[in-house]
């Protein structure tokens, strides 16, 4: 009895010291066992689950420049007008308060994989045993002539990282006169969130149908056809947005002119629109590219899929949208969260001298709103194959919705609430 009370008291003290220790967010340790760079779906999940799966024995420092997490999933509903920025924003304080993750608000300026240190933009260096990089994507603005300047001046937005541009694009749509044209351009796959551009176009079409019925949505896609949930999107567009939304495949954008509001293509003639939403080619997040980890076409980071350890640098794990995808794997928030957990378990095993899970498993569920209530999904299960050292979608599993439906609209919003909590609280 006495011993039990002692154990309980020690446990209570342990968690108390964790809580006290983590109350000071922004504490920069000289050495952290695990440093996680990037607090999105991948990094925040990895940070939390390394703490949880190690029974709170492994110290984790998360480095993230933003003060709060803003979700890309659901952000198209802010652009469509049925959700607000507050609806898609979650603070980082629960990661420290509930899980003892030391959250440092900063950028990582450089990584020294040989010395196992990261140097923060503010100056200090932190040593690590394991580094997890989850820097998301870098939008290659200079891959389209004129885009860099047009984006810097706020005239042509991508809004492909949820945040200020999400709201700014909404404002451009609100300011547009009825009878105007909204044009969204899509780069060749792979890019972040395959169905995202089609969901966004649907949201804008829904907004126009309600409030600016003379206006038009134009999708200009570098791919030959809709890359995700194609038949579902196209049927809904034909049934509900006829005369409002037009889809054109095989339109590769090569230049923009912010002054005349024109898009130039590799093959076809110019297109003029009132609100231009240009999504350029994407690649691994800047810090991953700078650190030489993007060893696949200088765009994506090759990883050992069992542990997500970089094929370029030992003890550096890369997850989320920055990685070179295994077959059938999308660049999605849900996938990044799943990868964060597999990586967390692998790191906990490695730092505990345990064998790494020989059969890791990933899932993906992705919901797209075709208006403010109706949703279509795609789901998949990815099992690691030790022989071929990659993930394979399990035969017979996964699939899409039969048709847009309201029940999935409810599930989609609940999915968001639960994954935000699973990632950040």
Partner 1 sequence: MTQRFSVRHRWAITAAVLACFLTSAHAQSSADTLYQRATAATCANCHGTDGRTTEGSAIPALAGMPKDYMVLQMKAFKEGTRPATVMHQLSKGLTDAQVNSIATYYASLKR
Among 12, 298, 394, 403, contact with partner 1 (rule: CB under 8 A): 394
Non-local CB neighbours of 326 within 8 Å, separated by 6+ positions? 305, 382, 390, 391, 392
Residue 224 binds partner 1, judged by CB under 8 A: no
Residue 377 binds partner 1, judged by CB under 8 A: yes
* Span near partner 1 by CB under 8 A; candidates 48-56, 58-66, 103-111, 257-265: 48-56
Q: Among all chains, which residue has been given the structure tokens 């993750």?
A: 101
Non-local CB neighbours of 163 within 8 Å, separated by 6+ positions? 66, 70
Q: Which of residues 196-215 bind partner 1 (CB under 8 A)?
A: none
Q: Find the DSSP H helices in 142-255.
A: 147-152, 164-175, 196-211, 230-240
Give the per-residue contact string, 324-353, with partner 1 (x = CB under 8 A; - = no). Answer: ----------x--xx--xx-xx--xx--xx
* Span near partner 1 by CB under 8 A; candidates 64-72, 269-277, 318-326, 391-399: 391-399
* Span near partner 1 by CB under 8 A; candidates 137-145, 229-237, 267-275, 378-386: 378-386
Q: Read off φ and ψ for residue 160, nearest 5 degrees.
A: -100, 5
How many chain residues interact with partner 1 (CB under 8 A)? 50
Burial class for 291, CB neighbours closer than 10 Å (0-12, 13-18, 19+): buried
Residue 40 binds partner 1, judged by CB under 8 A: no
Burial class for 380, CB neighbours closer than 10 Å (0-12, 13-18, 19+): buried
75, 166 contact by CB (below 8 A)? yes
Among 79, 247, 380, 391, contact with partner 1 (rule: CB under 8 A): 380
* Helices vs strands, H then E, count in the chain: 11, 24
Nearer to partner 1, 109 or 379 (CB): 379
Give the per-residue contact string, 403-422, with partner 1 (x = CB under 8 A; - = no). Answer: --x-xx-xx--xx-xxx-xx
Q: Find the DSSP H helices in 54-179.
A: 75-80, 93-99, 147-152, 164-175
Q: How far apart are CA 330 and CA 272, in angstroms?
A: 32
Give the per-residue contact string, 350-369, with partner 1 (x = CB under 8 A; - = no). Answer: --xxxx-x-xxxxx-x----
358, 147 contact by CB (below 8 A)? no
Nearer to partner 1, 208 or 305 (CB): 305
- Rounded to the nearest whole angstrom, what is the least distance from the CB of residue 345 to partner 1 in the complex? 4
Residue 386 binds partner 1, judged by CB under 8 A: no
Residue 56 binds partner 1, judged by CB under 8 A: no
Question: What are the tokens at 309?
Answer: 């350890």
Residue 58 binds partner 1, judged by CB under 8 A: no
Q: How far apart are CA 325 and CA 317, in angstroms?
A: 14
* Residues forming the site for partner 1 (CB under 8 A): 48-49, 52-53, 334, 337-338, 341-342, 344-345, 348-349, 352-355, 357, 359-363, 365, 377, 379-383, 393-394, 396-399, 401, 405, 407-408, 410-411, 414-415, 417-419, 421-422, 425
């Amino acid at each position: 009895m006495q011993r039990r009370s002692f154990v309980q008291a020690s446990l209570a003290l342990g968690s108390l010291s964790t809580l006290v220790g983590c109350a000071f967010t922004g504490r920069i340790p000289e050495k952290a066992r695990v440093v996680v760079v990037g607090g999105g779906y991948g990094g925040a999940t990895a940070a939390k689950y390394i703490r949880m799966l190690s029974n709170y024995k492994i110290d984790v420092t998360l480095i993230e420049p933003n003060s709060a997490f803003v979700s890309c999933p659901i952000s198209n509903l802010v652009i469509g007008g049925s959700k607000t920025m507050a609806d898609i924003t979650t603070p980082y304080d629960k990661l420290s308060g509930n899980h003892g993750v030391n959250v440092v608000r900063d950028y990582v300026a450089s990584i020294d994989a040989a010395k196992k240190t990261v140097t923060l933009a503010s100056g200090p260096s932190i040593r690590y045993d394991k580094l997890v990089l989850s820097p998301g994507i870098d939008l290659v603005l200079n891959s389209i002539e004129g885009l860099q300047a047009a984006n810097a001046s706020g005239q042509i937005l991508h809004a492909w990282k949820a945040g200020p541009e999400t709201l700014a694009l909404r404002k451009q749509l609100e300011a547009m006169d009825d009878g105007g044209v909204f044009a969204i351009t899509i780069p060749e796959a792979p890019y972040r969130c395959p169905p995202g551009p089609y969901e966004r176009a649907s949201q804008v079409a829904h907004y126009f149908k309600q409030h600016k019925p003379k206006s038009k949505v134009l999708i200009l896609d570098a791919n030959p056809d809709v890359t995700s949930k194609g038949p579902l999107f196209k049927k809904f567009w034909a049934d509900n947005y006829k005369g409002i939304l037009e889809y054109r495949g095989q339109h590769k954008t090569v230049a923009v002119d912010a002054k005349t509001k024109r898009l130039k293509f590799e093959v076809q003639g110019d297109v003029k629109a009132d609100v231009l939403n240009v999504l350029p080619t994407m690649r691994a997040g800047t810090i991953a590219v700078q650190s030489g980890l993007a060893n696949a076409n200088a765009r994506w980071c090759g990883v050992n899929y069992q542990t997500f350890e970089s094929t370029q640098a030992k003890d550096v794990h890369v997850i989320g949208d920055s990685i070179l995808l295994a077959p059938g794997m999308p660049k999605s928030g849900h996938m990044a969260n799943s990868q964060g957990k597999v990586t967390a378990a692998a790191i906990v095993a490695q730092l505990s001298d345990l064998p790494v899970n020989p059969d890791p498993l990933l899932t993906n569920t992705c919901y797209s709103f075709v208006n403010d209530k109706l949703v279509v999904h795609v789901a998949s299960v990815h099992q690691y194959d030790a022989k071929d050292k990659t993930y394979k979608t399990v035969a017979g599993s996964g699939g899409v919705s039969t048709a847009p439906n309201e029940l999935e609209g409810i599930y989609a919003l609940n999915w968001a609430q639960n994954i935000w909590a699973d990632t950040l609280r």
